[in-house]
Chains A and B, each alone.
Chain A
Amino acid sequence: MAKIIAVTGKGGTGKTAITSLLIRYLTKGDKVVLAVDADPDTNLPETLGCETSKTIGDIKEYMHDERDNLPPDINKESVLESKLYEILEEMPGYDLLVMGRPEGSGCYCYVNNLLRGIMNKLVNNYDVLIIDAEAGLEHFSRKIFRNVDDLVVVTDGSRRGLRTAERIRELVGELETDISNIYVIANKVTDANHEKIAGTAKELGLELIGMIPVDEMIVERDLAGEPLFDLPDDSAAVQEIEKIAQKLGL
């Protein structure tokens, strides 16, 4: 069984950077990872330094548009599975799947149902599934992923970031997805806000499992639009991620 980790948080807090550093950590070991970009903004491929062109959204659209043109007795699950394998970007140590654009106006109940079945099978081929998810957790409400082991909420130093974490925790209660643990990672932490963040997290009853300092190397690469995947091992963020990964049992 693959361990499923979802990383989420308010926009701009650095959840995509943290997701890619967690993937970086995992691929250094011998774990086979499925990375999923479930944020419609789709930044994960670029952060990983991986070029993708097609998304799940595209293949759902394909199934929708082509359904009357496909041979009538074709097995649509098998067609969708093959299309999904086509858009899986195969990188050394991990595969990347991009969820992409939202659905059009038609009914996607059937395609989503097929997709759920295919994803359930696909997930078994990996040791870890790591999902970069937007804060609304849309793909969870559609039950494309079930039984998330750890939901990691990334926050910056702001109270709003932590409030988002609190809201996400409430949202999780309403979802039918089974989420075992919720953790918080504080990002872009400075000496000045360190204690304040820890205090607010405690006050809100959120379990803080790591505080990543502001890392000049990440700031530079973000500005230049360069991937974070090949950050050196001595980067402060990389070292903190290592500790976090161990806490997550990775």
Chain B
Amino acid sequence: MADEFPFEISPMFEGERIRKDNMYVELAGPKSKGFELVRAADMDDVVDDKFTLIGPDLADMEEGSRYPIAMIYKIAGELVEADLESIVERRNHEFQNYIQGFMHLNQRDDVWLRVGKDAVKKGMTSFEPVAKAIMMLFKNELPFIEKVEAVYITDMAEIEKEIENAKAVYKARDERTRDLHDEDVDTFYGCTLCASFAPTNVCVVTPDRISLCGAINWFDGRAAAKVDPDGPQFAIPKGEVIDAESGEYTGVNEAAKRLSSGEYDRIKLHSFFEYPHTSCGCFEVVGFYIPEVDGIGWVDRDFAGTAPNGLQFSTMAGQTGGGKQVVGFLGVGVNYFRSPKFIQADGGWDRVVWMPKMLKDKIVNDMPEGIRDMVATDEDAADVESLRNFLKEKNHPILARWVEEEEEAPEEEEAPAKAVPQAGFSAPQMMPSNFMPSMPMMSGGGSGGVRIILKNAKVSIEKVIIKKQD
């Protein structure tokens, strides 16, 4: 290898920084333009190992100067397809950093390169051997590439002509990527960065479910797990599908057992009421069940006011956080609102009745069109009563559930304290404004049993006997 090229190639040069003092030339970067692009092509359209340079070569560049650069690779092979382009493109970063005296940062149209003075002194006077080395590494490391051809451009006018095309390719790719769903992959990712605050937390990141902190998506998990499989982000094999609708998988349940040290053994990724995802302590938004309207409200960290249930984010976060599975509350990342599987086990958006205006504004364009005006904000409703009136006025789909309840259990309306079966929910009822909102008392993990909601009740009990039913 060393004989072939006028520079050393080795992974040990990764992370090598070329400082301004030692820089021969800077290419692209924040003060110039450039991009890198890999395109899949037909076998006949690629001349293997061919290199074309449009614009000045390294030897023509003055020491200390700055030029734009574009690097385009055409790849072909029986197994080469458009979906592989971004994976191959990413390797350009890695391979260029293997070259001693060559620094490559970032990706796509944000690339930033520097060539060191020492490298030029040792004979790196042309881009040709650099491109040839990268093409060699592509074929050696990614054997599905049978032919590869490179075009580098250092002429600004040419780059400006090509860059819009590159941006269109990136955009189309992003659209495809956003179309990736839980059913398309066989691996999810876990994260233990929160484990010190939330020891039983089971963070599962899937294409349709961002981490609760909002920072880690499925691709981030994949990237991190690939570099360090034992690091804070790691693979969770999906296993068998138990229930696709609520998002229950054997692999996730096994991971839940392991990560929570046996505390939890079932997690439904897209469920609010039954075996919900655990809530860490870093979540951006907390969802809360409002029994009086049988709907779910959401409040984010930045909202300092009080939700219609009379509680603030911090109070609910305190109650929910710490890695617990708390039925009736759920921590999520903001991006989860954009998921097509958003609490789909419980009716999805049709179940959402309230969120702070700031939060709603952030995601309103990603909400299903029909529901946008029906979800109340802090400007529309500050308490349960005004919320109920708002929902009625807007004819929110949640009303369908009220009718059911009223028909099912009319005699319970008058009862000061009542037991409501798990499957049903309390009918909407007036609530005094000074009333401490009730936390729904949930049966452990939501597996059958009863839900008891006490409203405006004074209860004195001498003795309670709870017996297991045989």
* CB neighbours of A106 from chain B (8 A): 213-214, 282, 284, 301
For residue A76, which residues in chain B have a CB less than 8 angstroms away from its CB?
Answer: 220, 223
Other-chain residue from A71, A107, A121, A125 in contact with B282 (beta carbon distance below 8 A): A107
Q: Does B178 contact A (CB under 8 A)?
A: yes
The chain A residue sitting closest to B232, CB to CB, is A113
Instruction: Check: B60 CB closer than 8 A to any chain A CB.
Output: no
- With the chains together, A81 CA to B106 CA distance in Å? 7
Among candidates B15, B193, B232, residue contacting A121 with C-beta atoms closer than 8 Å: B15
- Measured CB to CB, the closest approach of chain B to A57, in angstroms, equals 16
Whether B19 contacts A67 by the Cβ 8 Å rule is no
A72 adjacent to B177 (CB under 8 Å): yes
Q: How many A-B residue pairs have CB under 8 A?
A: 92
Write the chain A residue with the least CB distance to B283.
A107
Once the chains bind, are B174 and A72 in contact (CB under 8 Å)? Answer: yes
Residues of B close to A32: CB separation below 8 A: 19
Check B105 against A85 for contact (C-beta < 8 Å).
Answer: yes
Chain A residues positioned under 8 Å from B282 (CB to CB)? 106-107, 109
Give residues of chain A (91-140) contacting chain B, Cβ–Cβ below 8 Å.
Answer: 92-93, 95, 105-107, 109-111, 113, 121-122, 124-125
In the assembled complex, B16 has its CB within 8 A of some CB on chain A? yes
Q: Does B5 contact A (CB under 8 A)?
A: no
Query: Does A78 lie within 8 Å of B107, measured CB to CB?
Result: yes
Is the CB of B194 closer than 8 A to any CB of chain A? yes
B21 to chain A: closest residue by CB: A92
Query: In the bound complex, do residue B215 and residue A75 qualify as a contact, i.e. CB atoms below 8 Å apart?
Result: no
Tell me which of A67, A95, A124 contacts B215 (CB under 8 A). Answer: A67
**Count of B interface residues, CB-CB < 8 Å:** 43
- Asked if B217 is an interface residue, CB under 8 A from chain A, the answer is yes
Q: Which of A72, A81, A93, A110 contacts B21 (CB 8 A)?
A: A93
**Which residues in chain A, 37-92, are within 8 Å of chain B measured between CB atoms?**
64, 67-68, 71-79, 81-82, 85-86, 90, 92
Partner of A78, one of B16, B20, B93, B283: B93
A73 x B215 contact (CB < 8 A): no
Residue total for A at the interface (Cβ-Cβ under 8 A): 32
User: Chain B, 282-293, contact with A by CB distance < 8 Å: what is the 0/1 string?
Assistant: 111000000000
Q: Which of B86, B110, B301, B335 sits near A73, CB closer than 8 Å?
A: B86
CB <8 Å contact, A124 and B177 = no
Whether the Cβ atoms of A82 and B86 lie closer than 8 Å is no
Q: Which residue of B has the minimal Cβ distance to A121?
A: B15
Contact B214–A67 (Cβ < 8 Å): yes
Q: Are A74 and B107 in touch, CB under 8 angstroms? A: yes
Report whether B105 and A72 are in contact in the complex, using a CB–CB cutoff of 8 Å.
no
B223: chain A residues at CB < 8 Å are 75-77
Complex contact A75–B193 (CB within 8 A): no
Q: Is the CB of A110 within 8 A of B17?
A: no
Contact with A along B18-34 (1 / 0, CB 8 A): 01110000000010000
Please give the distance in Å from A58's CB to the nearest CB on chain B.
14
- Which residues of A does B touch, CB under 8 Å? 32, 64, 67-68, 71-79, 81-82, 85-86, 90, 92-93, 95, 105-107, 109-111, 113, 121-122, 124-125
6 CB contacts below 8 A, A to B, read A68-B335, A76-B223, A77-B223, A92-B21, A110-B216, A122-B17
Instruction: For the A-B complex with A77-B224, A121-B14 known, give 13 more contacts whose Cβ atoms are closer than 8 Å.
Output: A71-B174, A72-B177, A73-B174, A74-B107, A75-B107, A82-B105, A93-B21, A107-B214, A109-B282, A110-B220, A113-B193, A113-B232, A125-B19
Q: Shortest 3 CB-CB distances between A and B: which pairs? A: A107-B282, A110-B215, A107-B213
